[in-house]
Amino acid sequence: MTDPYGTPTGDPEDLAIVGRHLTKAYGLDGRAATKALAAADPAAAVAAAGGFLGAHDVSFEVRKGEMFVIMGLSGSGKSTLLRMINRLNVPTSGELLIGGEDIVTASKARLRELRNQKIGMVFQHFSLFPHRSVRDNAAYGLKVRGLPRSERYERADAALARVGLSGKGDKFPHELSGGMRQRVGLARALAVDPPILLMDEPFSALDPLIRRDMQDLLAGLQAEDRRTTVFVTHDLNEAMRIGDQIMVMRDGKVVQVGAGVDIVARPADSYVSEFVSDVDRARVLTARDLLRPALLSLDVAEPPDVALSKLADNEANGAFVTGADDRLLGVVTDTNLHGAINARHRDLSGVVTDDYHVVEPDAIVGDFMQHSGRHLVPITVVDAQGRLAGVVPRAAILSALSNVREVAHA
Amino acid sequence: MPDMKIGERGEELINYMRDHFGGFFDLIQGAMTDLLRLTYEVLSALQPTVMIGIFVALALLVTRKLGLTAVLGIGLLVIESMGLWFETMQSMATVLVATAVALIVGIPVGIWAAFSPVVRAIVTPLLDFMQTIPVFVYLLPTVLFFGIGPVPGVIATIVFAAPPAVRLTQLGIRQVDAETVEAATAFGASPWEVLREVQLPLARATIMAGVNQVIMLALSMVVVAGLVGGGGLGSIVVNAVQSLQIGASIEGGLAVVILAMYLDRVSAALGGQGRGMPSWWPKRRSTTGVEIAHTEQKELVAA
């Protein structure tokens, strides 16, 4: 097997950011760093030389339009890595490609151009310019670009409107609340309309309700723009809420990369499972993740007595009834079937009931789990064409919510 | 410890410099004399009462405080009534020229020191040296270089008054929140743009505190400059003390105090410490932008 991250796995055209073997040793000069990194235990060698290994041999790929979340505890190297993408942090070694161009070796002029045109950034503590109005803050990237004032202000006002700050352009940052300030921070990044957006724990300084508002705002913007975004957070629930791909880091190394559900369902090691134990799994898992095949489904044309004996063979009290094209029509119970036999029905159409709960495959477990166990049949999953996709038994929900390891080995 | 003849060598060095760089010193002397004369001529071009009116209007404009302006105006009238107006203007010219030169040199050096640890390592002990060496020690060599008159006084004043400009400029720039600087950099600003658009504006209050200190230190040198023929209030006080004219020395001293008060309050208000604040300045008085940024961060962390 080849290095899983070292070589591009997707279509190179499709990749917005590629990091390869990125390493950052703080506090050491070039030669000392090279020597320490060649040691058997680089982290210990760098520490012994008086430095700190911020990131070690990190490789990753971000696809265009993707929300890529870097997650980890403080000191895990996530901000170090984020700041390499616009070279606020210069990697000690490794390469970082933005649209195929290595930003590590770019000239100073080219670097400024890339930062100004291609990469927007939102900061943890907002980092607005306190001596500039909200409008001038939002217009800053355009000012650096050298646009005339009228155009700058027009685009800044448009960006402010997108983040819900219309009419606040003449205010100063100190006149705004924390949430509104970060909206300005977001507008400042959006005003330059960069293909790549970097967000460094942008909502962690906000209180939980505002944080949720901001996550919704970001999700809304993201749905419109499909902008390549790298988002750093230490909050796994936030990562799950907004991330397409999540990269978990620890001590400067990548521990796991995958979609949120994969990470919750199949944590790579005890560090990740510790991390995900905090996650409200009911909000993350979907019906698809817990889907089981329906054991018994009956054709609507079947005679009731045949159906009842199938129920008996399967030790079931009820069964799904499907019609033409496998479309789900409803549910029959043993009592219904008994009545149908006595009433001499030829098929099941007269006794089908809607005594069941239907969800789509993408439904969040937390949204439907309260309906589980209320009906004779389990929660029923139906695809977009109305066909029976499977069921989510109550035991599967309880098992998924009770313990990470059981899910991992399910 | 052998006698290294430090004194002798120093004297030799000074003599050597006087012999070989005389032309250079003459050039400086000429330029300084012209600058001082020009400044004095501007300050004394109009009638004292008219000038007092202008000074009072300026104080009102900058401080926006009626009471303070009234006190400063009365002070200036007292100077005029003591017949010391033109001497006061001479001293003010000395202070203004010395301050201007100290700032023109000090602020760029401070900026440089803020960015370069090497420069900082060189400049810091030099500033300590400039501030602690007794003024009279270098007053004498400056007289040797520039002759008796107002110029050696101005040069000694510059040496004595420049350090706060360097120190506070450096401090102000280094105090600017690193993430705010990072934000400007992240949007593609060049180091020069970051300095001009973010670091200097945010360091403004601290730098202006340095300017205020430079002015006050320059004023404190006025009397010392009188010893080497600096003219102005310094000469009044020195002559009065030498001839035991207690009354005249009191008058000269009072004029220095009034001048100091005027320059201090007006320059402090320019730095945003009074009420002459720019529109973006937060309403809370006596709080600098840096402090605001810090409290913001603390609030955030607490939240």
Whether the Cβ atoms of residue B170 and residue B117 lie closer than 8 Å to each other: no
Give percent of chain B with pLDDT exceeding 70: 89
Could you tell me the two tokens for B102?
A: 């100290």
How close, in Å, is residue A6 to chain B by CA atoms?
A: 27
Report the distance separating Cα A303 and Cα A306, nearest Å.
6
Whether residue B276 is predicted with pLDDT greater than 80 in this model: the reply is no
User: Which pLDDT does position A366 carry in this prediction?
Assistant: 82
Report the distance separating Cα A230 and Cα B144, nearest Å.
67
pLDDT band at B272 (very low <50, low <70, confident <90, very high): low
Q: Are B185 and A132 an interchain contact pair (Cβ–Cβ within 8 Å)? A: no
In a mutational test of the B interface, the residue from A88, A89, A122, A144 whose CB has the highest number of chain B CBs within 10 Å is A144
pLDDT in tens, B144-187: 888 888 898 899 999 999 999 999 999 999 999 998 999 999 99
Whether residue B139 is predicted with pLDDT greater than 80 in this model: the reply is yes
pLDDT band at B71 (very low <50, low <70, confident <90, very high): very high
Q: Are A115 and B179 an interchain contact pair (Cβ–Cβ within 8 Å)? A: no
Q: What mean pLDDT do residues B243-269 have?
A: 92
Nearest chain A residue to B280 by CA distance is A131
Q: What mean pLDDT do residues A26-33 have?
A: 83
pLDDT in tens, A85-123: 999 999 998 999 998 899 999 999 999 999 999 999 999
pLDDT in tens, B29-70: 899 999 999 999 999 989 999 999 999 999 999 888 889 999
User: Which pLDDT does position B125 carry in this prediction?
Assistant: 94
Query: Chain B contacts of A115, Cβ < 8 Å?
Result: 185-188
B188 touching A (Cβ < 8 Å): yes
Q: Are A115 and B185 an interchain contact pair (Cβ–Cβ within 8 Å)? A: yes
The angle that helices B200-220 and B163-175 make with each other, rounded to 10 degrees, is 160
How close, in Å, is residue A256 to chain B by CA atoms?
A: 28
User: Which pLDDT does position A183 carry in this prediction?
Assistant: 93
pLDDT band at A400 (very low <50, low <70, confident <90, very high): confident
Q: Are B190 and A133 an interchain contact pair (Cβ–Cβ within 8 Å)? A: no
DSSP state letters, B106-125: HHHHHHHHHH-HHHHHHHHH
A203 touching B (Cβ < 8 Å): no
pLDDT band at A11 (very low <50, low <70, confident <90, very high): low
Query: Chain A contacts of B292, Cβ < 8 Å?
Result: 130, 174
Classify B21 as helix, strand or coil: coil
CA A142 vs. chain centroid, Å, equals 30
Q: What mean pLDDT do residues B81-96 have?
A: 93
DSSP class of B281: S
Q: Which of B187, B189, B303 sits opposite A178 (nearest CB)?
A: B303
User: Which pLDDT does position A12 carry in this prediction?
Assistant: 65
Query: Chain B contacts of A205, Cβ < 8 Å?
Result: 300-301, 303
Q: What mean pLDDT do residues B255-275 have?
A: 82
Q: Are A88 and B182 an interchain contact pair (Cβ–Cβ within 8 Å)? A: yes
CA B167 vs. chain centroid, Å, equals 13
Q: Are B296 and A125 an interchain contact pair (Cβ–Cβ within 8 Å)? A: yes
pLDDT in tens, B176-220: 999 899 999 999 999 999 999 999 999 998 999 999 999 999 998
Tokens 């500033």 belong to: B127
B297 touching A (Cβ < 8 Å): yes
A110 touching B (Cβ < 8 Å): no
Classify B163 as helix, strand or coil: helix
In a mutational test of the B interface, the residue from A174, A196, A200 whose CB has the highest number of chain B CBs within 10 Å is A174
Classify A329 as helix, strand or coil: strand
Higher-confidence residue of A28 and A406: namely A28
∠A241-A246-A248 over CA atoms, to 5°?
120
In a mutational test of the B interface, the residue from A87, A98, A110, A112 whose CB has the highest number of chain B CBs within 10 Å is A112
Whether residue A188 is predicted with pLDDT greater than 60 in this model: the reply is yes
pTM of the model: 0.74
The type of residue at B245 is Q
User: Which pLDDT does position A10 carry in this prediction?
Assistant: 54
User: Which pLDDT does position A33 carry in this prediction?
Assistant: 83
Q: What mean pLDDT do residues B104-120 have?
A: 94
Report the distance separating Cα A182 and Cα A204, nearest Å.
11
User: Which pLDDT does position B141 carry in this prediction?
Assistant: 85
Nearest chain B residue to A190 by CA distance is B187
Higher-confidence residue of A340 and B89: namely B89
User: Which pLDDT does position A194 carry in this prediction?
Assistant: 93
Q: Starting at the earlier edge strand, list the strands of the sheet with A328-333.
A: A297-299, A318-322, A328-333
**Helix residue ranges, H only, B82-231:** 85-115, 117-132, 135-146, 150-161, 163-175, 178-186, 191-194, 200-220, 222-226
User: Which pLDDT does position A9 carry in this prediction?
Assistant: 53
Which residues 201-230 in chain B show a CB within 8 A of chain A? 201-202
Q: Are A145 and B190 an interchain contact pair (Cβ–Cβ within 8 Å)? A: no
B280 touching A (Cβ < 8 Å): yes
pLDDT in tens, B92-111: 999 999 999 999 999 999 99
A171 touching B (Cβ < 8 Å): no
Which of the given ranges, A23-37, A289-303, A325-339, B100-114, has the highest pLDDT on average?
B100-114
Q: Is A326 left (phi over 0), alpha (psi -120 to 50) or beta?
A: left
Provide the ipTM.
0.73
Nearest chain B residue to A207 by CA distance is B303
Q: What mean pLDDT do residues B269-276 have?
A: 59
Could you tell me the two tokens for A79?
A: 């901000």
Which residues 92-151 in chain B show a CB within 8 A of chain A? none
Q: Which of A127, A133, A172 sits opposite B179 (nearest CB)?
A: A127
Whether the Cβ atoms of residue A169 and residue A134 lie closer than 8 Å to each other: yes
Report the distance separating Cα A219 and Cα A243, nearest Å.
10
Report the distance separating Cα B255 and Cα B233, nearest Å.
8
Beta strand A358-359 with A328-333 is unpaired
CA distances from A186 to A134, A147, B170, B298 (A): 12, 20, 31, 21
Q: Are B188 and A188 an interchain contact pair (Cβ–Cβ within 8 Å)? A: no
Query: Chain B contacts of A206, Cβ < 8 Å?
Result: 303
Whether the Cβ atoms of residue A71 and residue A246 lie closer than 8 Å to each other: yes
Whether residue A317 is predicted with pLDDT greater than 90 in this model: the reply is no
pLDDT band at B232 (very low <50, low <70, confident <90, very high): confident
Q: Which of A113, A131, A205 sits opposite B202 (nearest CB)?
A: A131
Whether residue A406 is predicted with pLDDT greater than 60 in this model: the reply is no
A119 touching B (Cβ < 8 Å): yes
Instruction: Quote the mean pLDDT of chain A.
Output: 86
pLDDT band at A328 (very low <50, low <70, confident <90, very high): confident
pLDDT band at A1 (very low <50, low <70, confident <90, very high): very low
User: Which pLDDT does position A41 carry in this prediction?
Assistant: 82
Q: What mean pLDDT do residues A6-35 have?
A: 79
Query: Chain B contacts of A209, Cβ < 8 Å?
Result: none
Q: Are A127 and B297 an interchain contact pair (Cβ–Cβ within 8 Å)? A: no
User: Which pLDDT does position A345 carry in this prediction?
Assistant: 85
Residues 6 or more apart whose CB falls under 8 angstroms from that of A394 comprise A372, A373, A378, A379
Q: What mean pLDDT do residues A193-222 have?
A: 90
Query: Chain A contacts of B277, Cβ < 8 Å?
Result: none
> Which helix H or strand E contains A91, and what residues bound it?
none
pLDDT in tens, A261-287: 888 878 888 888 887 777 777 777 888
Whether residue B275 is predicted with pLDDT greater than 80 in this model: the reply is no
A204 touching B (Cβ < 8 Å): no
User: Which pLDDT does position A61 carry in this prediction?
Assistant: 93
> Which helix H or strand E contains A318, and what residues bound it?
strand A318-322
DSSP state letters, A251-305: TTEEEEEE-HHHHHHS-SSHHHHHHHTTS-HHHH-BGGGG-B--S-EEETTS-HH
B191 touching A (Cβ < 8 Å): no
Query: Chain B contacts of A121, Cβ < 8 Å?
Result: 183, 186-187
Nearest chain A residue to B291 by CA distance is A130
Nearest chain B residue to A208 by CA distance is B303
CA nearest to A84, candidates A125, A47, A121, A45: A121
